[in-house]
Amino acid sequence: MALIFSKNRSGEYGYDRQAVDIFFANCQTAYESQPASIDVLKLANSSFPLVKVGYYTAEVDQAINKLIYSVLEYKRDLAHNSGQQDLWEKEYSRTIYDLESTLNADKGKMFSRGEKKVFSYKRRQVEKFMDKLKKYFFESGKKITLEDLDKVCFSVTKRASGYSEKEVDQFLNKVRILLLTPTRKTNSV
């Protein structure tokens, strides 16, 4: 399975080609040997150095999303075929519950505060997006898509009043996994 990604034009930044190629080669080896052992959160939290004339970031991110979905689908089918569908659905429900505790936290307390002189996300922008997520998951509000997650961009500050970039990004990756999680077995070929 050789993946071919487009390269950015000269002078434009993209993901380091060698790092991406090694990452996907390792993923292929793991998927072919023990797909159930793949940690989808690690996949979602993957990052690559930005370099000139690298791979287009959107194409690589989309391939990671497809890989996450494939792994989740494999794990779901494995649970279904072994009579453990209830465990799969409980895990899905637990993930939603974990997200809910963050989304229901008081304003200013959803994530750890940033450190002085270190970039952090502006709190109000993060909270505004978290309100959208809360409506999506718990109030049947506006739909949230993977594209919405890809497009979300928070301004940064070096003040301690912001939210930790790392925590916010990890949370959004958990949302990404939840959006990609197939909950029911379908009759696909």
Task: Tell me the pLDDT of the chain (189 aa) as tens digits.
Answer: 556 888 887 778 889 999 999 999 999 999 999 888 888 888 988 989 989 889 998 899 889 989 998 998 888 888 888 888 787 777 777 788 888 888 888 988 999 988 888 888 999 999 999 998 988 887 776 688 888 888 888 998 887 788 999 899 989 988 988 888 876 554 443
pTM listed for this prediction: 0.75
Judged on CB neighbours under 10 Å (0-12, 13-18, 19+), 34 is exposed
Residue with tokens 């080609």: 17
For the record, the structure tokens of 30 come out as 């793991």
Q: What is the number of helices (H) and of strands (E) in the chain?
A: 7, 4
Nearest Cα to Cα of residue 49 among 41, 39, 38, 60? 60
Cα gap 121→142, rounded to integer Å: 23
